[in-house]
Chain A
Amino acid sequence: MMRAGRLLNAGLIALLMTGASGARATVLLQEGAATLGDLSPIVIRTGGGTGPDASLEEAVRRHARVFRRADDPLVRVRTLNRIQNLQARFGGPLGLSEKASERLHREALDDFETLLAGTKGEREAELLYEAARASDIAGQPRRSVGYLERILEQHGDSEFMAEAAFRTGEHRFSQGRYADAAEAFGGAREHGPDDDFRNDSLYMLGWSRFLNDEAMKAAGLFLVFMDRYHDQGTGFASVSGKDAEQVADAQRVLSLIATYDRGPETLARVLDAHGDRPYAATLYDHLLRFLRERGDHQGSVATAEAFRARYLDHVAAPAMLTEVVESWRLAGNTERMRDAMAEAVEAHAEPDAMAALDRPVRRQVMGYLRALGVWHYTRGQALEGGESRSHYRQASQRLRQYADRAGRFRMEADAMGTGAGYMVLLAGDAALRGGRTAGAAGLYERAAWSEPPFPGAGEAAYALVQLRQDQWHRQEDAESRDRLIADARRFVQDFPWHADINGVRQTLANRLYEAGRYAEARGVARTLVDADATDDQRRAGWILLGHLRMDAEEYANAASAWAEVRKLTPAEDDRMADFRERHGLALYREAQRLAAGEQSEQARTWFQKAYRAAPGTDVAASARYDETGLVLELAQWDEAIRLLQTFRQRFPEHDLAQGAGERIVHAHRQAGRPGEAADAMLATTPDDLDPEERWSRQLRAARYYREAGRLADAVALYERYLADGTDHLGGHVFQQERRHELALMQKTLEREEALSGTHRAIVEAEDGAEGTARSARLASRSALWLGRRAADVFERIELGAPLDESLARKRDALSESLEWFRRAERFGIAETATESTYRMAELYRQLAQDVLDSERPSGLTDLQANQYEMLLEEEAYPFEEKAIELHQRNQQRIPEGHWTGWVSRSLDSLADLFPARYERDLQWTEARHEAAR
């Protein structure tokens, strides 16, 4: 304790102070601070760390320790109050055992007695109240009630009075003394400090009356009790917590009272006796639920119907219909439940009737629509034929009704977890299965696009697309296709997340392609291949892109598309060959494009790609073939030949194989190897070639042989032609030329007999033929050559004895030669005619000379010799004459302008035969000829 006020022992202090030295030493607070006010603040830290952990249990235990250590009754009672407060707030003995808590309160009872002994007035009432509570906790209820009754007796105006009465009532109530309890609760109700307390008292009073078998009184009290909580606007909705429990309890008691008697009839009697209440519907509702909970579904239905009968126009009357449905449902009588649902639906399904309903009821009626629709749907699924379709149609109707209402009463629909959309979708399914395709389409469309967005909208749209596809499959006309396109397009635009989106994209792309809407088709296909689609779907997209790009002549891109197609196609797929060929074709077209643009190297690369892409196909063949064309253009002859030879090996039956052969020939020729060219040409001649073409190729080959100097090979081909081919190739003139060429080659080869034969053939072929000047010339030359050859024989025959014999041979030779010369002359070619004439004349002249120079027979006499000489001259003379005549014929050709060397030589011969005449003529003739030039 402070002792500031104590008196000073003046004598002692004075003694101590007197003569004191200046020693100063104890606790130095702060240097230079003379007074407390001079001290500067010291630093203290607060708020650091988390602080010690503390539990409520330990707090109670600490208070208990304080309680036990304290001697002062007031301290002990206050400490006990703290313990009680904690226990009351958090429940249980809290850190103490039940027994310890009881013991603590028991120990405090003496303290209360001590304090009560010296206390009066309101404080006494408070202590009595606390002592009552402590006694109660200490397990001494009788003592507790004793304290409370002291309050009732001695402190009637105390603030503890009402609670004391209430607790006394509770005590009596617990003892089953309901009449006494009612008396106490009545007092509490009268003295209660507030409405809350008075209501509690009223509530307990009602219970006391009820248990005291005063049912009607109790019912009246509970109605009064409920009146206090009922609000005209919100009913009992705003009541909460303990009050709500008590109001519910009051309703339960009323239901009990009714149930113990005649059910709804008793409830009506209570209301008649105590006056109707605005919350009568709540009471009926409670009763029907109460009965329902007890399994009395008939009673529950009867209660709902009783209410509807008593309050026909009551706002809660429709709700009772729903309760009937619920009761039948709980009773397991589904048929009656559906009947009740149908009744409710019929009564309220019209939009205006629906609008008039309370929201919860409306929600239920909506639910009935939905449930009935779904039920019919499942029946449709279970049944077959006409029955099934009938159910489906009813389902469609109910569900559509639901959806129609859901648009207006959206909150109710939302509360059911699914909006109208699903129902419209289901209605669409039902319509479709009920055979109403057009209706189904409309419903699907509505579900997908007209209803507020919902998760099943995509399904609806997809169903519509499928429906459209089915229609298109059946009709296959432009109109159904356009509808399919339109709906599929909307689907892919609005539901890109749908699981079947890529299937629809595939369909859409194909239909767009078929409709010639290539740009759109391309866009959709592009999306498809970029999407997370299946391999088949992506392949379909790539196929379409391949076609589209080919059509657009974007061959490189098309090739990419087809390459993707191939990647996505299993090797064993039947279509693989086709895809390969298309791939190759795209590559080939690109190569062609590049080639046309004179980008040969690139083109060649693309041809090679095409060749590799589609091995064994026409495309590969064309690619390889065209590649060789490029190589030829690049003058890479050997490379071209190699490629062409492999081509022919790889594609021996291909149409282009022939061309390849030609190209090989061409390459050899260009490479300066005409012989090889001819060989190739012959080797590549097809067996079934047209004869004309065949002989033509042979002659060309022969020509190449000639160029290569391989004359024997050429001659063989000519001879074969002239033997077998003239009927197939060429006319007379053409053949005469070939014979002529053959003759030239035979001449070079010095094949005399063959040459002779050829000349003969030429001459004979020309005879009677409608030749040309050229063929005539050739023939006349051949005849000339034959004539010369016979003349050579003629000259080699020497006339001897017997002259007749040798002369005859000579004459034969002459005759043959003359014949050939005459034939040559007949062809009317000046050059050969003059030579022939000349040579014939010279033959005659030679013959005459030979006659004159022939060996004379030996042993002739002079006369004989003269006669023989004369005979010889006679013999020779005609020949001379003939020779002159022929030379003169040549001479006569001069005026015709046919002045050749042979004419000159004839003139020379004439001059030799008639020198006087013909030398002059010759001069004259030559002068004239010169003058004519």
Chain B
Amino acid sequence: MAIRLITVFVLFCALFVPSALASSLDRAREALDQDTPERAESILSENIPPDSVSDEERDELFFLLAETARHYEHFSEAGNQLNRISDPFWGGMGYYNLAMAYLERESLSRTRVALRVVRSLAGGDGSLRGADLVSRAHIAEGLLALREDDSPRAEQVLSRVRTDSTLVSEGLYLLGIARARNGSLHRALQTWQRVERFPVAWPGVVEARLARVWGYIESGHHGEALTTAERNRAYLERSIERLDGLREQVREHGLARLIRSELQGDQDLVEFLRGSRNHTRSPLIAWVLEYVADGGDPSVEPAKLDSGFLGFLADERERLAGFRDRNLRQQALVYEQVALRQTERPVQRGGWE
């Protein structure tokens, strides 16, 4: 969980302390971000004398070279570049991206191997960020196992996700699925119940709510299923309404100002973030963190930041609306089942009369 806090902290450092580094690495990274790997390759191959950079810059150089190779689907070359990185965390990051690339191409065994390398490298880092990356690898492995209908394996690896991970809500959601598939429906419901406490912005939170309705139906507790579905509906309506309000505020005041006002005057940001209640009580921060985790760049100019954040929120609203519609269907189905159980009316001849 600390990763999120650190992210926000560093984000603000970037906002308020402009970077002096205008190196080739930045440009190369920008090129990669803009999906122009050939340009990044050109920058990295021409303008950066390897001997003139520090170890950290060198690691980033190899990382960017590996990312470039990955973009060209030169996975073997990407692996070679990653092997040259001395910092295991950076290496692990690279292999994680490589695993995702294998996964996109349905190369599952290679995905598994890559994720094993991630765990190996990040686990050896000994840092919080390394541990978080290991959890991320566990989640990916868990997903993979679920895809392959190996739910015992999925439960095994998902159980290893750290409780202080940035992906704990997603991990709980998936772990619930694995447990349900293993026949522990009640255990799954208990697992999903824990997710309720996390902000709606976090991955797996809404999914776990819908999964609980399913779980109750499957276990024959139709009353609870209907009650939960109706609570979910109110929750989603409320969440969408708040999201709309937040979008209005961003448009009116800008994200930077909103973040500052969240700090409540002179309060130190770190101190603010230390208070978990503040954190969970601040939907804005949750959404911002999620925006950053989703690849949003907090270091751009305010107008661009606002635009990017609003676009993210619009996508999120659509996502929540989708969940709301799904919930509505789910609710109707559950209601029908409860009604069928309660009715004493005789069933008539079915079919099309």
Residues of A within 8 A of B (CB): 1-30, 33-39, 41-44, 46-47, 49-56, 58-59, 62-63, 65-66, 69-70, 75, 79, 82, 84-86, 88-91, 133, 136, 167, 242
**Residues 312-353 of B contacting A (Cβ, < 8 Å):** 319, 322, 325, 328-329, 331-333, 335-336, 338-340, 342-343, 345, 347-353
| Beta-carbon contact of B221 and A21 below 8 Å | no
Q: Which residue of B lies closest to A10 (CB)?
A: B93
Beyond A12-B292, A16-B6, A58-B335, whether A25 also contacts B276 by CB under 8 A is yes
Asked if B162 lies at the interface with its beta carbon under 8 angstroms from chain A, I say yes
Query: How many angstroms between the C-alpha atoms of A781 and B275 in the bound complex?
Result: 169
Which of A16, A41, A50, A79 has the most B CB atoms < 10 Å from its CB? Answer: A16
Beyond A6-B100, A88-B350, A89-B350, whether A20 also contacts B6 by CB under 8 A is yes
| Beta-carbon contact of B97 and A25 below 8 Å | no
Residues of B within 8 A of A30 (CB): 163
Q: Which residue of B lies closest to A20 (CB)?
A: B6
**Residues 258-303 of B contacting A (Cβ, < 8 Å):** 270, 273-276, 279-280, 292, 294-295, 297-298
Beyond A16-B6, A38-B163, A44-B190, whether A63 also contacts B280 by CB under 8 A is no
Beyond A6-B100, A12-B297, whether A34 also contacts B350 by CB under 8 A is no
Beyond A36-B161, A91-B348, whether A8 also contacts B93 by CB under 8 A is yes
Query: How many angstroms between the C-alpha atoms of A162 and B108 in the bound complex?
Result: 47
Residues of B within 8 A of A91 (CB): 348
Chain A nearest CB from B66 CB (Å) reads 10
Chain B nearest CB from A729 CB (Å) reads 117
Known: A17-B128, A25-B274, A66-B325. 13 other contacts (CB 8 A): A1-B319, A6-B100, A9-B297, A12-B292, A22-B128, A23-B2, A23-B6, A27-B1, A42-B194, A44-B189, A51-B338, A52-B223, A70-B329
| Beta-carbon contact of A7 and B97 below 8 Å | yes
Contact of A15 among B10, B101, B163 (CB under 8 A): B10
Residues of A within 8 A of B93 (CB): 8, 10, 13-14
| Beta-carbon contact of A17 and B127 below 8 Å | yes
Q: Interface majority SS on A: helix, strand, loop or mixed? A: loop
Q: How many A-B residue pairs have CB under 8 A?
A: 235
Asked if B219 lies at the interface with its beta carbon under 8 angstroms from chain A, I say yes
Beyond A27-B197, A27-B280, A133-B352, whether A16 also contacts B227 by CB under 8 A is no
Query: How many angstroms between the C-alpha atoms of A84 and B224 in the bound complex?
Result: 26
Asked if B209 lies at the interface with its beta carbon under 8 angstroms from chain A, I say no
| Beta-carbon contact of A27 and B276 below 8 Å | yes
Contact of B162 among A8, A34, A70 (CB under 8 A): A34
| Stretch touching chain A among B41-49, B72-80, B164-172, B235-243 | B164-172
Contact of A5 among B3, B103, B223, B339 (CB under 8 A): B103
A-B contacts, 27 listed (Cβ < 8 Å):
A1-B319, A2-B170, A11-B60, A14-B89, A16-B292, A19-B10, A20-B9, A21-B9, A24-B5, A25-B1, A26-B5, A27-B168, A29-B163, A33-B163, A36-B168, A46-B216, A52-B227, A54-B342, A55-B343, A63-B336, A69-B328, A75-B329, A88-B350, A88-B351, A89-B350, A90-B347, A242-B349
Q: Give per-residue flags for B160-194: 1 if the beta carbon is below 8 A from chain A beta carbons, else 0.
A: 11111000101110110000000000110111011
Residues of B within 8 A of A16 (CB): 3, 6-7, 9-11, 292
Chain B nearest CB from A355 CB (Å) reads 44
6 nearest A-B residue pairs (beta carbon)? A51-B223, A37-B159, A20-B6, A17-B129, A26-B1, A54-B339
Chain A nearest CB from B298 CB (Å) reads 8
Beyond A4-B140, A14-B93, whether A54 also contacts B226 by CB under 8 A is yes
Which of B128, B170, B216 has the most A CB atoms < 10 Å from its CB? Answer: B128
Query: How many angstroms between the C-alpha atoms of A52 and B224 in the bound complex?
Result: 9
Residues of A within 8 A of B171 (CB): 36
Asked if B63 lies at the interface with its beta carbon under 8 angstroms from chain A, I say yes
Chain A nearest CB from B3 CB (Å) reads 7
Query: How many angstroms between the C-alpha atoms of A43 and B189 in the bound complex?
Result: 10
| Beta-carbon contact of B11 and A36 below 8 Å | no
| Beta-carbon contact of B139 and A42 below 8 Å | no
Residues of B within 8 A of A63 (CB): 332, 336
Query: How many angstroms between the C-alpha atoms of A50 and B226 in the bound complex?
Result: 12
Residues of A within 8 A of B275 (CB): 25
| Beta-carbon contact of A46 and B221 below 8 Å | yes
Q: Interface majority SS on B: helix, strand, loop or mixed? A: helix
| Beta-carbon contact of A36 and B227 below 8 Å | no
**Residues 83-130 of B contacting A (Cβ, < 8 Å):** 89-90, 93-94, 96-97, 100-101, 103-104, 127-129
Q: Which residue of A lies closest to B298 (CB)?
A: A12
Q: Which residue of B lies closest to A56 (CB)?
A: B339
**Residues 228-261 of B contacting A (Cβ, < 8 Å):** none
Beyond A8-B97, A39-B194, whether A62 also contacts B331 by CB under 8 A is yes
Asked if B4 lies at the interface with its beta carbon under 8 angstroms from chain A, I say yes
Contact of A23 among B5, B175, B294, B348 (CB under 8 A): B5
| Beta-carbon contact of A23 and B163 below 8 Å | no
| Beta-carbon contact of B348 and A89 below 8 Å | yes
Residues of B within 8 A of A12 (CB): 292, 295, 297-298
Chain B nearest CB from A240 CB (Å) reads 14
Query: How many angstroms between the C-alpha atoms of A242 and B353 in the bound complex?
Result: 14
| Beta-carbon contact of A70 and B325 below 8 Å | yes
| Beta-carbon contact of B29 and A11 below 8 Å | yes
| Beta-carbon contact of A59 and B335 below 8 Å | yes
| Beta-carbon contact of B336 and A82 below 8 Å | yes
| Beta-carbon contact of B332 and A62 below 8 Å | yes
Q: Give per-residue flags for B135-146: 1 if the beta carbon is below 8 A from chain A beta carbons, else 0.
A: 010011001000
Chain A nearest CB from B228 CB (Å) reads 10
| Beta-carbon contact of B94 and A10 below 8 Å | yes
Asked if B203 lies at the interface with its beta carbon under 8 angstroms from chain A, I say yes
Beyond A3-B203, A5-B103, A34-B162, whether A25 also contacts B329 by CB under 8 A is no
Beyond A66-B332, A88-B352, whether A20 also contacts B129 by CB under 8 A is yes
| Beta-carbon contact of A9 and B295 below 8 Å | yes
Residues of B within 8 A of A29 (CB): 163, 168, 194
Q: Which residue of A lies closest to B297 (CB)?
A: A12
| Beta-carbon contact of B279 and A26 below 8 Å | yes
| Beta-carbon contact of A35 and B279 below 8 Å | no
Chain A nearest CB from B344 CB (Å) reads 11
Chain B nearest CB from A45 CB (Å) reads 9
Chain A nearest CB from B6 CB (Å) reads 3
Beyond A21-B6, A36-B175, whether A6 also contacts B276 by CB under 8 A is no
Query: How many angstroms between the C-alpha atoms of A340 and B216 in the bound complex?
Result: 72
Residues of A within 8 A of B339 (CB): 54-56, 58-59
| Beta-carbon contact of A20 and B328 below 8 Å | no
Query: How many angstroms between the C-alpha atoms of A50 and B340 in the bound complex?
Result: 15
Q: Which residue of A lies closest to B221 (CB)?
A: A46
Residues of B within 8 A of A70 (CB): 325, 329
Q: Which residue of A lies closest to B159 (CB)?
A: A37
| Beta-carbon contact of B353 and A88 below 8 Å | yes
Query: How many angstroms between the C-alpha atoms of A133 and B353 in the bound complex?
Result: 9
Contact of B329 among A34, A35, A66 (CB under 8 A): A66
Residues of A within 8 A of B63 (CB): 10
Residues of B within 8 A of A7 (CB): 97, 100-101, 295
Residues of B within 8 A of A62 (CB): 331-332, 335-336
Q: Which residue of A lies closest to B63 (CB)?
A: A10
| Beta-carbon contact of A4 and B170 below 8 Å | yes
Residues of B within 8 A of A33 (CB): 163
Query: How many angstroms between the C-alpha atoms of A89 and B14 in the bound complex?
Result: 65
**Residues 204-225 of B contacting A (Cβ, < 8 Å):** 204, 207, 216, 219, 221-224
Query: How many angstroms between the C-alpha atoms of A36 and B160 in the bound complex?
Result: 6
Query: How many angstroms between the C-alpha atoms of A85 and B158 in the bound complex?
Result: 41
Query: How many angstroms between the C-alpha atoms of A1 and B316 in the bound complex?
Result: 9
Query: How many angstroms between the C-alpha atoms of A54 and B342 in the bound complex?
Result: 7
Chain A nearest CB from B264 CB (Å) reads 16
Asked if B306 lies at the interface with its beta carbon under 8 angstroms from chain A, I say no
Residues of B within 8 A of A59 (CB): 332, 335-336, 339-340
Query: How many angstroms between the C-alpha atoms of A167 and B333 in the bound complex?
Result: 31
Q: Which residue of A lies closest to B176 (CB)?
A: A36
